[in-house]
Structure 1
Amino acid sequence: MNHLIPISDSAIAMRHSPVLRAVCLTLDYIHENGPIGLTATGALKRYFVEWAAAAFDWPFYTTEDLYAVNKVLNECDFPPLTIMHDLLLSARLARHRKGALHPTRLARQLRADPAALWSLLAQQFLFATDHTGYTRYGDQPMGNWDIFLNVINVEAQHGLSEDRLGLVLYGPGEGQGWRDEIRMKAALYIHVLRPLCWMGLLEEGRSGEGFERDETYFKTALWHEAFKLETDVHLDPVTQH
């Protein structure tokens, strides 16, 4: 079941959604500079990757972080850009033609209405995109969006950890090895939590480093604009971020 409600507040979508901001910046870049060149393998050329890394200001992907592990930046070195590129194509907002990325007529029309653009992107990214290709092992979480959204709606009201989400969805998991647990959490993150964060519906807070790092997820104000869920009747007063 699709619980997504078309939103009308462009400002709230722009404020919370890295995907929407990046798409708008990309469309504006093309409008001002012309189509974006592609490599022989169909990736965006390095000059745009370097521009995007700075312009997008993507949470947890700062230029300092990216250049700390890369002397130069190719599209594959900036995962949000790779995924946004895929999304533009799958949502029919852009196409490859004559060695460059061109916006479609739909993209040019929706750029003037960021709320409608966000709704299209969210529909495609959450419910029509197969995120398996972005995982290391091809894992998929057990469950569906109806279950995921209704559980997160309640559990993220005052902050939700990945451990808590796994526990509520799948139980204690006695006898489950640490490798299986890590893969389960990674699948939930790639398929569910990250798309919700990148669309601006959840906000991710991080503390600690490496294996000691903890993530906590909170619903944003955009969540309450975009979803009407069965578990709404069970909610305590809202915590918005």
Structure 2
Amino acid sequence: MPQALRLTPYRVPVEAALAAPMVVAARLLLDLAVKQGGLVLTPAGFLKRADVRHVFDRTEWPGFDKATTLAMYKVINEQDAYGVLFTRVALQVCGLLRKRSGVLRATRVAKSMLAEEAAPALLGELFQAVFWEMNLQNFDRNPLPFWPQHHVGLVLWCLSVTAHEWSSAEHLTPACTIMETIDEPIARDLPGFAMVTRVLRPLTWLGLMEDRTQKRASGWLDDEDFRKTPLFDQMLSFKVEMIDDEGHARH
């Protein structure tokens, strides 16, 4: 994590942390793991359908319509419940679930995270895992490797000063990323797609941003707008030095 960025979960209200979709899902998974003595994985390494459905039925995920998923699949596998899969991987990455002999078991620290007052700390663990310990390209299969995750600290700071109002990913992508780090000709929509799947969507699931669907003037495509929530500034603190034309540092 960049030195200019500091996580401040102690400033996050417990109620706000408890409402974040990933925190809701994480607490459900950890609670299941404790009560059942672990979460048994299938031979392919996914959660059992019953455990997936337990969490799926009790969560809502911005950008994904539950009714559409239920209409498409007769049974819900973990791969079909993207938010559940994403959260389960994050819990493993941050060490709150550990795999032993095909079973995911809650650690001692994970059990303490089930207390409601620990929700802000849990949110902080998930946040760090998502942006600095997970390779988000594994989830979206976008051919842009690691972009813009390799400069996500800068992206987050830019969002902190630009995402006060509703803005589209098309606007936020060039405003908040280093486009020059893409050094090969690519399809025009790939950077915006990566910005959504690797930054904006995870932020909505963590409760730091919110989204809305807007019908654009072109009339043929429904697009999303995003803006930060109060949780964004409560969770993240920045100390950024900028150099002026005379070489003086400005904070």
2:133 and 2:35 map into 1 onto residues whose CA distance is 31
Instruction: Give yes or no for contact 1:54–1:62 (8 Å, CA) kept in 2.
Output: no
| In 2: Cα distance, 1:125 partner to 1:74 partner | 22
Please say if 1:19 is aligned against 2:28: no
Deviations 1:6-64 (A, max 9, x none): 3342211112x211111011222333444222111110011112222111233343432
TM-score of the superposition, structure 2-length normalised? 0.80
| Deviation (angstroms), 1:160 | 1.9
Change (3 A) 1:44 1:13: same
Q: Counterpart of 2:244?
A: none
Q: Normalising to structure 1: TM-score of the pair?
A: 0.83
Q: Please, which runs of 5 or more residues in structure 1 have no aligned partner?
A: 232-241
Judge which range, 5-14 or 77-86, deviates more: 5-14
How far the C-alpha of 1:213 sits from its partner, in A, is 1.3
Q: Judge conservation of contact 2:61–2:205 (CA < 8 Å) in 1.
A: no
SS of the aligned residue for 1:180 comes to: coil
Question: For 1:200-239, what aligned pairs fall within 5 Å after superposition?
Answer: 200-208=207-215, 212-229=221-238
Q: CA deviation at 1:165?
A: 1.2
The Cα offsets for residues 127-186 of structure 1, whole Å up to 9 and x where unpaired, read as 222211112233132561232112211221112211111232467xxxx99x72211111
Question: 1:180 maps to which residue?
Answer: 187
Q: What secondary structure, in the 3-state scheme, does the structure 1 residue paired with 2:58 have?
A: helix
Q: CA RMSD in A?
A: 2.4
Q: Retained in 2: the 8 A contact 1:150–1:230?
A: no
Letter of the 2:147 partner, please give it: P
Contact 2:62 2:204 in 1 (8 A): no
**1:134 counterpart = 2:150:** no
* Count of residues paired in the alignment: 225
The code of the aligned residue for 1:13 comes to: A
Aligned residue number for residue 237 of structure 1: none
Residue equivalent to 2:130: 125
Shift of 1:211: 6.0
Q: Secondary structure at the match of 1:41?
A: coil
**Aligned amino acid, residue 213 of structure 2:** R
Query: What is residue 248 of structure 2 aligned with on the other side?
Result: none
Q: How far has the Cα of 1:126 moved from its partner?
A: 2.1
The DSSP-based 3-state class of the residue aligned with 2:61 is: coil
1:212 and 1:62 map into 2 onto residues whose CA distance is 17
Among 100, 104, 109, the residue aligned to 1:106: 109
Select the structure that is richer in strand: 2
Q: Secondary structure at the match of 2:99?
A: strand
Q: Which residue of 2 aligns with 1:189?
A: 196
Q: Could you list the per-position Cα deviations for residues 83-110 of structure 1 after superposition, in whole angstroms to 9, with x for gaps in the alignment?
A: 1111111111012224322111110122
Q: Partner of 1:192: helix, strand, or coil?
A: helix
SS of 1:181 mapped into structure 2 = coil
Higher helix share: 1
Q: Which runs of 4+ in 1 moved over 6 A?
A: none
Counterparts of 1:3 and 1:181, CA distance in 2 = 33
Q: Which residue of 1 aligns with 2:83?
A: 80
Structure 1 segment 39-78 matched on structure 2, within 5 A:
39-78=42-81
Distance 1:167 1:33, change over 3 A: same
Q: 1:10 matched to which residue of 2?
A: 14
Equivalent-residue separation in structure 1 for 2:94 and 2:50 (angstroms): 24
- SS of the aligned residue for 1:3 comes to strand
C-alpha displacement at 1:229, in angstroms? 2.8
Mapped to 1, the partners of 2:67 and 2:50 lie a distance apart of 17
Give distance in 2, aligned partners of 1:105 and 1:211.
51
| AA in 2 matched with 1:12 | A
